[in-house]
Every structure is written in structure tokens, then in C-alpha cells.
């Protein structure tokens, strides 16, 4: 191998190395962004599960109430409570 070939090969390797570093940086940023989105979705999932549990319990309670109007009132209060929680976020 001549000196010029070695220099050319070295330059090519440096270029490939720079591209690889750039790709790694881009992928690290994407990974960080996805991790943040994942945490946000986990928080939203926990919130929705909590709301679902509240609603299911409210329905169970409503089923024990004989008066239809009182059932409706109970469920409306629960729904309003959940809406107020959402507004405060």
C-alpha cells in the first residue's frame, strides 16, 4: 500500500466515523424524545385507570340506589367531579 492510498483510506475512515457519530447522536436524541413520550403516556395511563376505577365504583354504588333520580344525581356528581379534576390540570 502506498502512502497516498493509506492517506485516502484514513480519510474515508474518518468520514465514516464522523457519519457514525452523527447517526449515534441523532438516535440518542430520538431515544430521549421517545423516553419522555413514554413517561407522559405512563402518567396519562395511570390517570385514566384512576378515573376508570372511580367510575366503576360510582356505577356499583348507583346500582345499589333504588331511586332512579338519585342514581342519576349520584353519577352526575361523580362525572362533574372528574371534569373539575381535568380542568385543574
What pLDDT is recorded for position 14? Answer: 98
List the grid coordinates of 58: 360510582
What pLDDT is recorded for position 88? Answer: 85
What pLDDT is recorded for position 89? Answer: 76
Q: 361523580: which residue's cell?
A: 78
Q: How far apart are the two ends of the chain, measured CA to CA in Å?
A: 68
Greatest Cα pair distance, the chain, in angstroms, is: 96
What pLDDT is recorded for position 59? Answer: 94
List the grid coordinates of 49: 385507570
What pLDDT is recorded for position 86? Answer: 86
What pLDDT is recorded for position 87? Answer: 85
What pLDDT is recorded for position 45? Answer: 97
Low-confidence ranges of the chain (pLDDT < 50): none
Amino acid at each position: 500500500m502506498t502512502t497516498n492510498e493509506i492517506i485516502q483510506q484514513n480519510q474515508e475512515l474518518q468520514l465514516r466515523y464522523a457519519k457514525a457519530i452523527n447517526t449515534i447522536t441523532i438516535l440518542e436524541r430520538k431515544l430521549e424524545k421517545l423516553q419522555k413520550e413514554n413517561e407522559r403516556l405512563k402518567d396519562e395511563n395511570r390517570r385514566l385507570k384512576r378515573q376508570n376505577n372511580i367510575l366503576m365504583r360510582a356505577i356499583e354504588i348507583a346500582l345499589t340506589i333504588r331511586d332512579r333520580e338519585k342514581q342519576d344525581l349520584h353519577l352526575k356528581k361523580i362525572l362533574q367531579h372528574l371534569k373539575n379534576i381535568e380542568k385543574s390540570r
